[in-house]
Structure 1
Amino acid sequence: MKYPQPPARSATPSAQELVHNDGRPVPAVFELESPQFLGDEDIPFERYTSEAFYELEMERMWTRTWQWACREEHIPEPGDFYVYEIGRHSVLIVRGNDSRIRGFVNSCLHRGTKFRSGGSDGGFDEIRCPFHGWTWGLDGGLKRVPYDWDAPHVSQRDFSLPRVSLECWGGFVFVNLDPDAPPLNAYMAPMPEHMENFDLAGRFVELHIEKELHCNWKAAKEAFIENYHTQETHPQLLYGSDDEGTQYDVFNDHVSRFFCAFGVSSPSIDPPPTEQQLVDMMLVGDRSVLGDTVIVGEGESARIVMARVLRAQLGEKYQVDLSRFTDTEMIDVSQYSLFPNMLLFPQLSLPMVYRFRPLGDAADRTLFELLILRPAPEGGPRPPAARPVRLTERESFTTVAGFDPVLGEVYDQDTGNLRAQQEGFRAARKPGETLLNYQEVRVRLLHQTLDRYLRASEPAL
């Protein structure tokens, strides 16, 4: 349901106004605005704590949605495999001898044993059960049953491995447990159109961090889809990004966006920082490329200087031509949410993708993943995907080799709130959370889309 009145907006300059002062025209996709008012009712806390609600999600939502499972570079050669799990559901993703990628239910048709454990990857010539040795080809066809004289009722025709829906986009491999799933491009529109200039298929996984969290998966995702928390949780970031001017767009049930200009300070900072101070803050996350110092000349804009330096130095380090990218595409934060659990940052500075999943099969445990996707060298071999670094709840992002420790502190601040919030859900006497109408609209959208899946007869649009 869409409500008629538009949401209130801050009186401060918007992200649109700020980026139009740049040295290059703003791409059309970043001139789009799609504000929506989706209501102001409270969201019940039991949606984050109830095991019954979690079971309903497992049954009706996770089995019917497209989910990013891995990158194509995780399985580059025939026989390479990757196991993606969501709660109790497990998918074995395999690249066949014909180079096609297929997804199978990760359970032997003999007595149910998983072929490979959750989170594993590697390579094999055939799919073989570790219990009794029943064997399938990489295309899922039954090849061998030991002592088959005792299994006359097992036919090759009827014992192919059950497949899941699988499609690739932008170098990502997506799976959907629903055999009648809608086409991926229709499900994720307008994201493919918005990403056309970024060549996500031409990127590689430079860093992969996994973080265990004591909270519901929705609470974990919601912590990252609004900028409202910056003024309290990350006050240091107010000196280089405009929290209050952030733009929030709702495109449809599955896709939303926030767009935040970098290289400008929050209106709450008085006196405002100098252009040099703005650039110093913008170095967060890219120090491995730029070093600790970028100098802003007399009369120069921090935004234009940072975009220019990034084009040159990122291009040199990764052996790619970045001249076609505008200032906005280089430095600003455009974060796209794909329902249910993916967040994608396509820009060249801090080019990240997040994923949020129930950890194990529990309503109050989450695995948060952060991947950095850098441009692969043009005309050269693609670097192998980085192995994941696993952090427990109490381990700091600042300990991860190759990750800017200043940025690591920001993620420690984000994830440090989540146990207290999960415990507060249970302690509350007020039955639900009250959301802001504009800045937290993406939180509300997540719940409204989830409800459409839980009411199984009503498809999401």
Structure 2
Amino acid sequence: MPATRPGDWLDPDSGLGMGLDDVEPGTFNSTIPTDRYTCPDYAARERDAIWMRTWQIAGRVEDLPKPGDWKKYDILDQSFLIVRGKDDVLRGFVNACRHRGNALCIAETGNAKRGFLCQYHLWSYDLEGRLKGLLRENLAGPIDKAENSLLAASVDTFAGFIFLNPDPEAVSLRDYLGADVVELLEPYNIEKFTTVMDVTEAIECNWKVVMDAFEEGYHINGIHPQLLQVLHINPKTARYRFFENHSVAMAPFEVTGAGAQEQVEGMLALPETFPGTVAVIPRFQELLAPYQDEDGKVTFPDDVTPRALLQQATREVLTGMGLDVSGLTDSQMVDNQGWVLFPNYFMTVRAGECHVIMSRPHPDGDPNRCIWHVASYMYVPEDFRDAVRAEPIVVDTPGSHKYFEALQQDYEQMPRQQKGLRNDRLDHMSLVKEEVVIAHFHSVVDRFMGDPVSR
């Protein structure tokens, strides 16, 4: 049956998604060499093969609302500026004066209504990057202003995120994402979400350890036992779609075999891990009330489930708040879809909220360290956005910031894995079938790195 909405790929009858058994053995990497996590030479190759060639998320559009607003984006030893022009267009430039290479901006963000001024010799540039003036210009000699504009980097936006590619000749962002990815993500209206958490911190592991950790649910029983009350990753019901560079996976937000009472109690506890459900729970309780006795025990007829009531409550609440969820299926009301956008972006998204993990190499180039960036975005009516919008937090003292429970557990686990990966005799990791998203991710790494596919 043809899909009527992008989210219908989850239906096994749609023919669009894959179950785990549909992935033929050997399709993707299952044996991953450990030197890609620990070897300085491999990390140096990644710089040119991956980081200088791919689109990376550098912020949110809401970060730069006014002409002249700019922010800095650094990747390894490269520094870039993203600025909103007077024509409202976002542009990217290498953060270096064309005179003698002085960094134009040292702070993380600011406003340059009149353009950029190099503090070294007072060369100035407008918001379109054109060289406008220089100190004692009449004595400067044959300086061609047109040939000395700021060096461009590719910048574009999607879903409210600002993307940057260091390569000025990069394929368009839409082509890099692919039409299918764009179609599947657009109905969430993520561009209307507001930042409610934004934390950046150096962590003692390779950037790919972070990506791997969030690309599978195989570790939930070991690291996040509290989530088993509301989420059971059942390989038989998980669905996947794999694209050239990216992927999406979904496991139903339910506990297989749990009774109705257990499911209800788990759903009522959702706000502890998924803050977007705070607004939904009161309506869920209203829909639940006719099925509860005076002691709160629930009894449902065969055609009613706690999951269906939560889906209904979510759709009603978000619609009432002004978010268009008409393009989303009932599953997308409650089920987190896990997206991997290569190279370094992982997002779980459901109607009205998404949670993002990004990782990038540490600026010092040490493959045993990286920068991880965790952020959450929620739909909030416009009148309340300023009240809930979170300011960026940069953690300088390791361990000083406490994340919500599940994220804290991952934060503590990842450096432990890196310690093990550094053992010389451990030359590879062996993935199980459930870790197919990791396997696909590393197949993309292999392709960008020009390495033969290992299996």
Query: What TM-score, normalized by structure 2, do the two folds share?
Result: 0.84
**Among candidates 169, 183, 195, match of residue 205 of structure 1:** 195
AA in 2 matched with 1:342: Y
CA distance in 2, matches of 1:359, 1:289: 38
Q: Which runs of 5+ in 2 are unaligned?
A: 292-298
Match of 2:267 in 1: 279
Higher mean C-alpha displacement, 185-194 vs 298-307: 298-307
CA contact (8 A) 2:234 2:251 kept: no
Q: Distance in 1 between matches of 2:190 and 2:447?
A: 30
User: Aligned pair 1:393/2:393, yes or no?
Assistant: no
Q: How does 1:426-441 map to 2 (within 5 A)?
A: 426-437=422-433, 439-441=434-436
Please show how residues 394-409 of structure 1 align to structure 2 within 5 Å: 394-398=399-403, 408-409=404-405
Q: CA deviation at 1:195?
A: 1.6
- Structure 1 segment 137-286 matched on structure 2, within 5 A: 137-189=126-178, 190-245=180-235, 247-262=238-253, 264-266=254-256, 274-283=262-271, 284-286=273-275
- Measured in 1, the distance between the counterparts of 2:148 and 2:204 equals 40
Match of 1:401 in 2: none
Q: Distance in 2 between matches of 1:166 and 1:314?
A: 31
SS in 2 for 1:238: helix
- C-alpha contact 1:208 1:371 (8 A) present in aligned 2: yes
**In structure 2, which of residues 97, 105, 122 is the aligned counterpart of residue 116 of structure 1?**
105
Q: Secondary structure at the match of 2:146?
A: coil
CA contact (8 A) 1:279 1:294 kept: no
Alignment of 1:307 with 2:288, yes or no, is no
- Cα deviation, residue 348, structure 1: 2.1
Q: How much has 1:315 moved relative to structure 2?
A: 5.1
- The answer on whether the counterparts of 1:240 and 1:266 sit within 8 Å (CA) in structure 2 is no
Indicate the residue corresponding to 1:135 in structure 2: 124
User: Does 2:51 correspond to 1:33?
Assistant: no
Paired with 2:267 and 2:220, the residues of 1 have a C-alpha distance of: 19
Q: Using the alignment, how far apart are the partners of 1:230 and 1:195 within structure 2?
A: 26
Whether 1:333 aligns to 2:336 is yes
Partner secondary structure for residue 397 of structure 1: coil
What is the distance in 2 between the residues matched to 1:25 and 1:450?
A: 31
SS across alignment from 2:422: helix
- Displacement of 1:126 in angstroms is 0.7
Does 2:87 align with 1:98? yes
| Distance in 2, Cα, partners of 1:26 & 1:36 | 21
Contact 2:199/2:373 (CA < 8 Å) preserved in 1?
Answer: yes
- AA matched with 2:233: D
Aligned counterpart, 2:45? 56
Distance across 2 between alignment mates of 1:204 and 1:235: 30
Number of aligned pairs?
A: 419
Q: Secondary structure at the match of 1:164?
A: strand
Q: Any unmatched runs of 5+ in structure 1?
A: 1-23, 399-407
Cα displacement (A) at 1:309:
2.9
Q: Distance in 2 between matches of 1:285 and 1:343?
A: 16
> What one-letter code is carried by the residue in structure 1 that aligns with 2:244?
D
Q: In 2 relative to 1, CA 434–301 (structure 1 residues): closer, same or farther, beyond 3 Å?
A: same
1:313 is displaced (CA, Å) by 4.2
Give the direction of change, closer, same or farther, for the CA distance of 1:133–1:57 in structure 2 (3 Å limit): same
- Paired with 1:251 and 1:232, the residues of 2 have a C-alpha distance of 27
Q: CA deviation at 1:274?
A: 2.5
Which residue matches 2:368? Answer: 364
Q: Return closer, same or farther for 1:150/1:69 CA change in 2, 3 Å cut-off.
A: same
State whether residues 133 and 146 of structure 1, in contact with CA within 8 Å, keep that contact through their aligned partners in structure 2.
yes
Instruction: Say which of 353, 356, 359 aligns to 2:356.
Output: 353
Aligned AA (2:136): Y
Question: For the Cα contact (< 8 Å) 2:7–2:184, is it kept in 1?
Answer: no
Q: Is 1:455 aligned with 2:455?
A: no
Q: Is the 8 A contact 2:229 2:262 kept in 1?
A: no
Q: Which residue of 2 aligns with 1:13?
A: none
Distance (Å, rounded) in 1 between the aligned partners of 2:175 and 2:80: 23
Structure 1 residues 382 and 411: CA distance shift in structure 2, 3 A: closer
Aligned CA-pair RMSD: 2.8
Q: 1:40 to 1:168 in 2, by over 3 A?
A: closer
In the alignment, what sits opposite 2:32? Answer: 43
The answer to whether the 8 Å contact 2:187/2:325 transfers is no
What is the distance in 1 between the residues matched to 2:431 and 2:336? 23
- Aligned mates of 1:430, 1:354 — CA distance in 2: 27
Give the 3 Å change call, closer, same or farther, for CA 140–382 of structure 1 in structure 2. farther
Q: Look up the equivalent residue of 1:432 and give its one-letter code.
A: H
Work out the CA distance in 2 between the residues paired with 1:118 and 1:44: 38
Aligned-pair distance for 1:323?
6.3
Structure 1 SS opposite 2:279: helix
Sort the Cα spacing of 1:289 and 1:389 in 2 relative to 1 into closer, same or farther, 3 A.
Answer: farther
